[in-house]
Chain A
Amino acid sequence: MMACFFTPTPSQAVRLDTAKGRPVANEQRAEISGLERLEGQHYERSYGSAVEVRTGPCLRYNCHGMSFAARRTRIIDNDAIRAILDDDGYDRVGVDKVLPGDVVLYISSAGDIEHSAIVVTPPSRETYNMPKVYSKWGKWKEVIHSANVCPYEPCDLRYYRVRG
């Protein structure tokens, strides 16, 4: 029988602070169900060769955990991300100044920071201003993809770089 049980172990958090010592709310999960794995594989196949897989699925961290917490945990709170941007000294970067390694935030029409990614190839006219990025898709995998080829709204992309 297919293993399709998910044990919602009580949410755990790790000690995580901004550069200025403000605590960052976070949560960890350790398991992914067989059913989620199947659904994810099915969905991933629908993208064909447009996405390149970097890692296996992992519940421990999400996109924001990958971008801002060294893949140790999941950050789900917009205020926590704003605190990191402020305290860690991120500056917003214009689309014409983007470099590999910059962080890109996907702001939904409701204002939610629903996704984040790391720029691999900056946006250009040839790519219709869409960068190539790598990102973590929720509980699923890290994938390399064009910023507009993913399950998230790419209509408001904002780029950030740590101030040197």
Chain B
Amino acid sequence: MSTVTWPLHGLLVDYLFANTPSYLMKKFRANDAVIELARDTPSVELASFVEAVDRDPSPDMHEVVAAYAAVVALTLQASQQSAEVLHNLRGENLTWIPHIVSLWRQSRVVGTSFDTRLPIKPLEQRQIRGAADSMETRACKPFRRDDFRYHAPDSVPTVIVRKDFD
């Protein structure tokens, strides 16, 4: 079993008073020790620690809290590797792991960008003439609502959706 060497004091209290996994996650994510853990520890190491505690039928109290802190630290790491690790965590004995992973999934911001550059189609001479005729017509009769109706271009605009998962 890995040795827990970082300060757990505030985490123990948060764990004790947590009524919901969301509360635990919120408190742990705000804890400096967890932020440092996320910054300084590779995802694989965090995952192996969590898995070892989760498999242990009688872990030490420190280890239980540390394992939940490690899970939350993984949710703070914005990397493809941490995402894969989180997807694979089981939570057999540490039953709040699936809840924390689920909350992390829900909270992930999917960055979506749209490129709405429309293809420019040169007007043909007859269309220019038609537009000019239309202007003349409008000049002598009141506008109708239909005059302002949007007409979709012939081709579908180019839309690029990019999902920034991590």
> Which residues of A approach B to under 8 Å, CB–CB?
4-8, 10-11, 27, 33, 35-36, 39-40, 42-43, 62-64, 74, 76-78, 108, 110, 112-116, 136-140, 151-152
Interface positions of B (Cβ within 8 A of A): 9, 12-23, 26, 57-62, 64, 93-96, 99
Does the CB pair A76–B19 fall under 8 Å? yes
A43 in contact with B13 given A7-B58, A33-B61, A108-B26 (CB within 8 Å):
yes
Residue of A nearest to B63 (CB): A6
CB–CB A36/B12 < 8 A: yes
Contact (Cβ within 8 A) B22 A8: no
Interfacial chain A residues near B21, Cβ < 8 Å: 76
Known A27-B95, A112-B23; contact A6-B61, beta-carbon cutoff 8 A: yes
Query: B93 contacts A76, CB within 8 Å?
Result: no
Residues of A within 8 A of B14 (CB): 151
Q: How far is B17's CA from A42's CA once the two chains are assembled, in angstroms?
A: 13
When distances are taken between beta carbons in the complex, the residues of chain B under 8 Å from A36 are 12, 15-16, 61
Q: Which residue of A lies closest to B94 (CB)?
A: A8
- Cα A74 to Cα B13 with chains together (Å): 18
Q: Is the CB of A112 within 8 A of B17?
A: no
